[in-house]
Chains A and B, each alone.
Chain A
Amino acid sequence: MSKKDKQKPGWKSIPEGGLILEAGNAIKYKTGGWRTHRPELDMDKCINCHFCWIYCPDSAVVSEKKEVTGFDHDYCKGCGICAHECPVDAITMVKEEPSTEK
């Protein structure tokens, strides 16, 4: 068994039959680790059309006070749909390793 698996609860304390008894608990499942490419936003080019925000299948585009400010890397899977849909090419997909983010 892996170290990570050892820390999880055993069969005596989890719900039977694989049931999930807690509504909306998908928020605890952070899928950012699946990512191979990360979106990067060029704020100078961005026109705040929010196409990326609408298209993102994981609601991982962050919008604050009607402005797109970046991405929630806990949930962004790096699918690249935001970059594809951006009408002004303000989003580019960059390889996760090595990091280019400042």
Chain B
Amino acid sequence: MSNQVALTGNEAMAQAMKQINPDVVAAYPITPQTEVVQMFSQFVADGAVDTEFVTVESEHSAMSATVGAAAGGARAMTATAANGLALMWEIVYIAASTRLPIVMPVVNRALSGPINIHCDHSDAMGARDSGWIQLYAENAQEAYDNAIQAVRIGEHEDVRLPVMVNMDGFIISHAVENLELLADEDVKEFIGEYTAEHTLLDTENPIAVGPLDLQDYYFEHKVQQAEAMENAQKVVVEVAKEYKNLTGRGFEYFEEYKLEDAEIAILALASTAGTAKAAVDKLREEGVKAGLLKLRMFRPFPAKEVAKALSGLKAVAVMDRADTFSTIGGPVFADVRSALYDVKSDVEVVNYIYGLGGRDTTVEDLEFVYNDLQGIVNSGEVNKRVKYLGVRE
């Protein structure tokens, strides 16, 4: 039985954590994630969860304590944003390489500097190569749904990897939405009990965690991580299907919105996908065959599936809410173009870097992008491959 409520994204995430009822949460507050930690610590104080809550002095310590708890066999969570994630960096990699299924909501915010507290994806995109699975949400409902599924994905015996559950700062985290929460017992049943295969607390079978791993074995452990990411693709689908059976909601790797007969499309992740849907609807009324691919899973990257979904189009704009400063486009663009190389498609793919530091991205901005795509289709020419959207000259 589910329950329809009006909550902010942060409230929905705190509810998801309450229902997951982790053994350990070690977290440090940072805008715009603060409320998640604040509300969760209230649940702890009220005895609404069984969680051991560890107050720490920094995000580096938050991730370190979470790693320690997970190595001890606990179902462990933390949450962060932007500079907090940056401060965790060293241990973020260690969590993945030690194969600890930690679930971490990241309320996406621009990395300093200049200092900024608003939404972009520079925090999570910076961690794209850390070995974490990354899920993105269009709205609070999807963020909540992803958090619950993340537990199952990360803990699966073929995966055993940490999962970053991304949610746009302020746009989702602080906006009130109507959404459905699962019943507590349904979440409990869906995620099940967690039993780690090896733990530091198993005194009958003592182990060493995090030993020195040099030229003779480090490489093998990295290939194991890559293999686990391959396996994650299958597991994400299985878990999404099961979740859909339970709730009627959700997608596997991505949502295709009016993409089937589309000639031009935008590929976007997170809240901008919702804005793009409004632009698609408007253009469809005008007879323009516009569509959208909303990416849910960025790591691992579903290259084959994305290429298949886009290869029949005439032109695609990939939206990146982070720059790589490579001068050849954003992180999502690089992967999408690489995926399309193998299918030998004629589709023109361009990149828009947008919304940095929380710059508002409107329906009109996205209509402008679709118009640009139409121009490319009509002229057959791309005058500039990578552009910045909504910035003053």
**Number of residues from B at the complex interface, CB < 8 A:** 24
Query: Residue-by-residue, is B208-246 near A (CB-CB < 8 Å gives 1, otherwise 0)?
Result: 111101011110110110011000000000000000000
A18 touches B207 (CB 8 A): no
Partner of A18, one of B98, B223, B227: B98
Interface residues on A, range: 10 to 19
Query: Residue-by-residue, is A1-21 near B (CB-CB < 8 Å gives 1, otherwise 0)?
Result: 000110010110011111111
17 of the cross-chain contacts (CB-CB < 8 Å) are A4-B216, A5-B215, A11-B220, A11-B221, A11-B224, A14-B221, A16-B99, A16-B228, A17-B98, A17-B224, A19-B198, A19-B207, A20-B207, A20-B208, A21-B198, A21-B205, A23-B207
Tell me the complex Cα distance, A12–B100, Å: 18
A19 touches B208 (CB 8 A): yes
A14 touches B220 (CB 8 A): yes
Tell me the complex Cα distance, A100–B255, Å: 75
Interface secondary structure of B, over-half rule: loop
Partner of B213, one of A10, A11, A18, A21: A18
| B97 on interface, CB distance cutoff 8 Å | yes
Please judge, given known A-B contacts A10-B220, A11-B227, whether A18 and B210 are in contact too, CB under 8 Å.
yes
Contacts of A21 in B (CB 8 A): 198, 205, 207
Tell me the complex Cα distance, A14–B216, Å: 12
Contacts of A20 in B (CB 8 A): 207-208, 211
Tell me the complex Cα distance, A23–B227, Å: 27
Known: A4-B216, A17-B100. 4 other contacts (CB 8 A): A5-B215, A14-B221, A17-B98, A17-B99
Tell me the complex Cα distance, A2–B294, Å: 46
- Minimum CB–CB distance from A9 to chain B (whole Å) comes to 8
Please judge, given known A-B contacts A5-B215, A21-B198, whether A16 and B207 are in contact too, CB under 8 Å.
no
Q: Which residue of B lies closest to A11 (CB)?
A: B220
B209 touches A8 (CB 8 A): no
A8 touches B216 (CB 8 A): yes
Query: Residue-by-residue, is B96-128 near A (CB-CB < 8 Å gives 1, otherwise 0)?
Result: 011110000000000000000000000000000
Tell me the complex Cα distance, A23–B209, Å: 11
